[in-house]
């Protein structure tokens, strides 16, 4: 799908809180796909590379050390980060580092799909609306991938072509905060 054909889905009920030095952004989304497919998408390196801004050097469905590979706009490897997968509850919960941040994935089967709650604990102050806008695009790409119509990943400046600026502004208004300047 081209940027001209893409229309972002409706905003999610994102919440933001502060915990010490961390900004905690919680992004819920219900996807019309079975939990096992969503679990594979958030743990399997080949699937991650098709919808997210990163992939990994191994399957993330087991506790231990890993390397997260950040992707460039063209999908090629850009930067590697050593990380630790801390918690794995098969098809339910995944906690791992993402650079200095932490990602917590919670998957719950619901009628007609999977309710996903992604929580990102970040040291990046003032980035809540940017994180929400970025994950919004990622979840739209993930939904399309699982529906059999892949078009991603949408990474870096390419996100602007897919409506990141508008999503950033809309999430800032929804959260009652100032827009993030960068992503």
Cα–Cα nearest to 38, from 112, 102, 97: 112
- Residue 71 or 37, more confident: 37
The string of pLDDT tens digits covering residues 120-179 is 999 877 788 999 999 999 999 999 999 999 988 998 888 899 999 999 999 999 998 866
Q: Which ranges of the chain does DSSP label H, i.e. alpha helix?
A: 35-43, 45-51, 128-146, 158-161, 164-175
């Amino acid at each position: 799908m081209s940027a001209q054909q893409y229309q972002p889905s409706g905003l999610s009920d994102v919440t933001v809180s502060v915990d010490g030095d961390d900004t905690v952004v919680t992004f819920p989304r219900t996807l019309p796909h079975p939990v096992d497919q969503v679990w594979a998408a958030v743990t399997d390196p080949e699937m991650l590379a098709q919808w997210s801004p990163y992939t990994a050097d191994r399957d993330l469905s087991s506790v231990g050390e890993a390397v997260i590979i950040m992707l460039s706009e063209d999908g090629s490897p850009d930067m590697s980060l050593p990380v630790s997968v801390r918690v794995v509850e098969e098809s339910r919960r995944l906690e791992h580092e993402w650079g200095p941040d932490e990602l917590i994935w919670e998957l719950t089967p619901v009628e007609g799909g999977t309710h996903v709650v992604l929580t990102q604990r970040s040291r990046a102050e003032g980035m809540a609306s940017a994180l929400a806008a970025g994950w919004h695009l990622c979840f739209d790409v993930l939904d399309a991938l699982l529906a059999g119509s892949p078009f991603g990943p949408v990474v870096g400046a390419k996100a602007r072509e897919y409506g990141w600026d508008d999503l950033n502004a809309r999430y800032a208004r929804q959260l009652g905060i100032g827009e993030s300047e960068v992503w």
